[in-house]
Amino acid sequence: MAGIGFELRKIFGKKTLMSSTWGVLYASLTTVGPSIMFIFLLFTLRYIMRYYHASELETMFFTASFTYIFLLAILTAAFQNTVVSRYISDKIFEKKEEDICASMFGVLTIGSVIAGIEGAVLCMLMYRHDQVSLIFMAAYYLLVVLATDAYNIITYVSALKEYKEVTVSYFVGVIVSIPMFFLFYKIVGWHLILSIYWALVCGFFIINLMLVYWCVKAFGTPSEKYFEFLKYFVKFPKLLVSGFSYMLGFYISNIIYWFFSDMKVTVSIFSVAPNYDMAMFLAILVNLSGMVVFEVKTETNFYDKYVSYLSALNMGSFDLIEKERVSMQNTINLQLFFVYEVQLIITIILICLINIFYPYLGVSSQILNMFMLLGMGLYCTFCMYFTVIFLYYFEDHTSACIGPVIFLAVVMIGSFICAKLGNPYYPIPLLAGGVVGWIVSFVLLRRRLKNLNAYLLCR
């Protein structure tokens, strides 16, 4: 996220208490601000459903059907995002930002087509099973496409400098959704669930429209190379495998438990595991801060060392190259272990707090027990991801691929096994996969740093 890196270095460079406080706040708003807005929206909608006395079946249907939208959007976007990120980086280096803008429309086109097919399949299945209305299917179809587009645009957002505007875009989308719900429900007279879905369609449309506007404003008028980025899928297939494996491994346990566990619940065509899904949601919440810590430390400390090392590699003596390599390696070690330690402390504290206050959150003891292990599992998974990012920096795509693939394999195999053993064992696969993937990625990073000079000079 080069754009925020430049801004954070400028903020922290003032070296005052106020600038440090503002730097952390700025990083928080730009990295997890949209996620917090989105979570706020979901809690608001659930409160509205309770306020208007939605039945348990209606609540479960909305939760289950929207979960499928969320998952399809993330996995569809993940299939492209890592490769597209490399394309964006190359174009920024080549100072061809008009190609970045063009590729954004290409990515949105392909993502919309894929999401449209997925949404159409789900709509047809719902129609065959429950004869849902066409107006509901239209809302569901549009939301699948718009949510996927939103996740695709995030890749381009990471290259922007206007992060305040990005957070504002999500804020406006959330704010628009709430009055639109009352318009559809109170004035138009639609059903509660139908009104919520069309309100979400309006909100996501506004978010996407504003994000596209900021991207075009930042990158300029697009060139005609809308699909040039497709060559990168052939050129860097391991990036595709790495990014998709990580994201699929993140959610594969949920998918397996939806269909093969003893806690699955089926509503219409949607099978979910509500207790496990809720535990996973809480685990994600307690680990979100890791993204902020990593962004601040990486973009403000590592980048300068990285540039100095590359400069020495291009025109320096061997002694200077080795000096800069050691300095950069020490910085990486300090940053990584700082992130590991700080996020571990935060995760443990938040787990303890939720243990204390869980009766007030409406969380059952079964959810709580799964949440504690899942919280540590996601901590390890995030740590693996942070480690893999450094392998991306050094273009060690093979090593960057190995950790996430092993992580995915362990979680997938473990989830099938634990689905047969019973719900006390459900959180174990994610914890085991996160630990193994993290260790493998860290060992591969250490090996790459040790032989970095030879690797980069002999490429």
Residue type, 85: S
Which residues share a beta bridge with 271?
266
One domain, residues 327 and 426:
yes
Domain identity same for 79 and 176: yes
Q: 264 and 355: one domain?
A: yes
Contact 54, 131 (CB under 8 A): no
In this prediction, residue 1 carries a pLDDT of: 42
Q: Smallest Cα–Cα separation from 280: which of 339, 347, 367?
A: 367
Q: Which two tokens stand for residue 7?
A: 């801004």
Domain check: are 267 and 188 in the same one? Answer: no
The residues, any chain, with a CB within 8 Å of residue 9's CB and separated by 6 or more, are: 299, 300, 303, 304
Q: Are residues 120 and 76 in the same domain?
A: yes
84 and 146 assigned to the same domain: yes
pLDDT of residue 145: 95
Q: Are residues 334 and 447 part of one domain?
A: yes
Residue 169 and residue 296: Cα distance in Å, rounded? 22
- pLDDT average per 10 residues of sequence, the chain (459 residues): 42 46 49 61 78 86 90 89 87 84 92 95 93 93 93 77 69 87 91 92 92 85 89 92 93 94 90 90 78 62 74 75 81 82 84 78 81 92 91 87 96 95 92 96 89 68
- Tokens 């390599």, located at residue: 325
Claim to verify: residue 230 and residue 264 sit in the same structural domain? no
| Domain total of the chain | 2
Cβ–Cβ under 8 Å, residues 231 and 239: no
Estimate to the nearest angstrom the gap between the alpha carbon of 201 and the chain centroid. Answer: 20
Last residue of one domain, picked from the residues 174, 202, 235: 235
What is the radius of gyration, based on Cα positions, of the chain? 23
Q: Residue 50 sits in which domain range?
A: 32-235
Task: Determine the Cα–Cα distance for residues 150 and 81; give it in Å rounded to an integer.
Answer: 12
- Look at residue 90 and tell me if it is in a domain: yes
Looking at the structure, do residues 310 and 439 belong to the same domain, yes or no? Answer: yes
For position 103, what pLDDT does the model report? 92
pLDDT of residue 113: 95
Whole-angstrom Cα distance, residue 410 to residue 403? 11
pLDDT reported for residue 458: 62
Name the helix (H) or strand (E) containing 145: helix 134-157
Tracing tokens 């969320």 back to the chain, one arrives at 70
Same domain, 337 and 456: yes
| CA pair distance 202, 323, nearest whole angstrom | 55
